A and B are shown apart, each in its own frame.
Chain A
Amino acid sequence: MIEQKLKKKNEFVYFALRNKKLQIGLTVVLFFLVLTFIGPLLTQNEPFAYVNPGGAEPPSSEYWFGTTFFGQDVFAQFGRGLRATFLVGLIGGGLATLIGVVIGFTAGYRGGLVDEILNLVTNIVLVIPTLAVLLIVAAYLEVRTIFTECLFIGLTAWPWAARAIRAQTFSLRTREFVDLAKLSGMKDRKIIFKEIAPNMMSYLFMTFILQFGGAILIAATLDFIGLGPTDAISLGLMMQVAVLWGALQLGFWWWFIPPGFAIMAIVGSLYIMNVGLDEVFNPKLREM
């Protein structure tokens, strides 16, 4: 049994390393991640400092991404903004995954009335356009931090994860090995951890990646409207300020193109990675 499990793990690693989509996606994401860490080190400018008296200037050897309307270093902002992006993805997406897993799994495993009620709750939260709710809540809060944003996102994005996990739990629950475990008198909790969880691991991971990407997009939208963190710079905020101060009309393309491009690249790579992971975990999808 253990040899089979090891074999399976090695099999996954073997295919994972060779999957083109994973390779490309992971490379891009890692590139930006590395940039997050070394970016602030590559320039001594603070994101909000007015370093260029000449105002907005296109990219040069001194300011790699140029400067903003106020003479701030766009690259410095970009580097810090990336950090906010990854944080939101990780914590916001992670929280959403966690809640979704707990609710989805309980609903799928227990079934019956518990499932009905949880399903109702999930559907309600699903129907409500989350942005509208977040707008209402965020508009009234004076001070917002990155963590409040993560909290908002986690508390509103979980239904997608819950649905997916519930469906997967349903299909696993009726499989023979669970019945076998139940017949042999295993306690429920043990069944969950020893029999079902390992089979769900791959699915959980893929759900998390989707939530990660989704959280980044939601955060960008919130930041753009002006409901993001009040104490930090983020990619969405950069775009908001740029548009507000006429970067479009004045043609300061270096100010608004990088932030959005980074989001598109990161989230797109995450999605493609997800497809690759699906191929790795589901042998049927592997190309011959």
Chain B
Amino acid sequence: MSLHVENLALYYQTLRGDVKALERATFTVADGEIMGLAGESGCGKTTLGNGLILLTPPMKFIEGCVKLDGVELPIWDMERMMPFRYKEISLIPQYAMSAMNPTRKTGKMISELLESRGVSYKDTLPELKRRLDLVELSHDVLNMYPIELSGGMKQRMVMVLSTLLNPSLLIADEITSALDVSTQRAVAKMLVEFRDRGFVKSVILITHDMSILYQIADSILVMYAGILAEKASTEVIIKSPRHPYTKLLISSLPEVGVKYSEKKLTGIPGSPPQLLDPPTGCRFRDRCPVAFDKCLEAPPFIELEKDHFVACWKEF
């Protein structure tokens, strides 16, 4: 059971032309793996995450192959993707706080959703209740309107709902961003629990918060300007990254206990290129401290060591 993405390219159609939001994406998420998808805003991580499950205009499928558990996912075809959605591949959206219909009691909404997917609500109810217990939500929430729930409660509700049918792949898009630190920790732990109990097989955890990834991710995929920069296990990414971008990213993170006077925080000067007409070659080359002339040619995403992929000429 795993996800294999090969050479995926997704563009956004705009009046000024196509924004090349994702190109040449090739990676694998193994069974039971929580893969963090990290990068700056606009690097393409949300495009990738959402494109896998809901590819709607203005997003455009260009090329590529996505295989989940050996079966090809026709992500460009809204109709043919229907059987996969929710059952094989599911999503916890970035907007979880407003993801539920405000004028429907949550229980009613869940039952209508399940029935519409051919799943009996009555049969699923006991499992639903068990999961609510797991996330410490009282069964009464099923009888409430979303407006009556707090932010944290809504987040947990959506987590339970999205994983109710035990999908093979769960895409969790910024699920901790809108929460306070202690709730973030609780939600992150919940996610791991879900994976451990087999509610979900693999998880792609999209976030810009590296600290969460350090806590719960098995591997991290770093993206930059629509291109995959580096992928390796969490340990390797944090302790011994090889791509210049990853190195700068890690070093720009504050460390607990370290004072500014002892070690200055470095940012990364400059800003990512706009993707309407991206620069040729390596897209990081303008901000890269070690760029050289070979960088005018786009580096391939190569496995340098076991399960450690990097796209940088300097490292080859």
Contact = CB atoms under 8 A, between A and B. Distances in A.
A102 to B, nearest CB: 32
B270 interface: no
Interface of B: 13-15, 57-58
A288 B58 CA distance: 8
Interface of A: 286, 288
Contacts of A288: 13-15, 57-58
A286 B16 CA distance: 12
A286 B14 CA distance: 10
Contacts of B57: 288
Nearest to A14: B15
Nearest to B14: A288
A286 B57 CA distance: 13
A288 B16 CA distance: 10
Contacts of A286: 15
A288 B15 CA distance: 6
A288 B60 CA distance: 12
Contacts of B14: 288
Scoring B14, B15, B58 by chain A CB atoms within 10 A of each residue's CB, the highest score goes to B15
B268 to A, nearest CB: 23
B59 to A, nearest CB: 11
B226 to A, nearest CB: 20
Nearest to A18: B15
B221 to A, nearest CB: 30
Contacts of B15: 286, 288
Nearest to A286: B15
6 contacts: A286-B15, A288-B13, A288-B14, A288-B15, A288-B57, A288-B58
Nearest to B57: A288
A132 B296 CA distance: 76
B271 to A, nearest CB: 14
A286 B15 CA distance: 9
A286 B13 CA distance: 12
Contacts of B58: 288
B131 to A, nearest CB: 35
Contacts of B13: 288
Nearest to A287: B15
A280 to B, nearest CB: 12
B185 to A, nearest CB: 27
B50 to A, nearest CB: 17
Nearest to B13: A288
B195 to A, nearest CB: 36
B99 to A, nearest CB: 19
A286 B58 CA distance: 11
A176 to B, nearest CB: 15
B61 to A, nearest CB: 15
A288 B14 CA distance: 7
A288 B57 CA distance: 9
A288 B18 CA distance: 11
B16 to A, nearest CB: 10
A86 to B, nearest CB: 34
A3 to B, nearest CB: 15
A61 B190 CA distance: 85
B197 to A, nearest CB: 40
B218 to A, nearest CB: 36
B120 to A, nearest CB: 38
A288 B13 CA distance: 8
A162 B205 CA distance: 45
A77 to B, nearest CB: 46
B274 to A, nearest CB: 13
Ordered nearest first, which 4 A-B pairs have the shortest CB separation?
A288-B13, A288-B58, A288-B57, A286-B15
A219 to B, nearest CB: 39
A67 to B, nearest CB: 52
A81 B57 CA distance: 48
B286 to A, nearest CB: 21
A288 B56 CA distance: 13
B10 to A, nearest CB: 16
B174 to A, nearest CB: 18
A251 B58 CA distance: 55
A288 B19 CA distance: 13
A124 to B, nearest CB: 28
A75 B5 CA distance: 72
A228 to B, nearest CB: 45
A217 B13 CA distance: 42
B98 to A, nearest CB: 15
A64 to B, nearest CB: 44
A202 B160 CA distance: 42
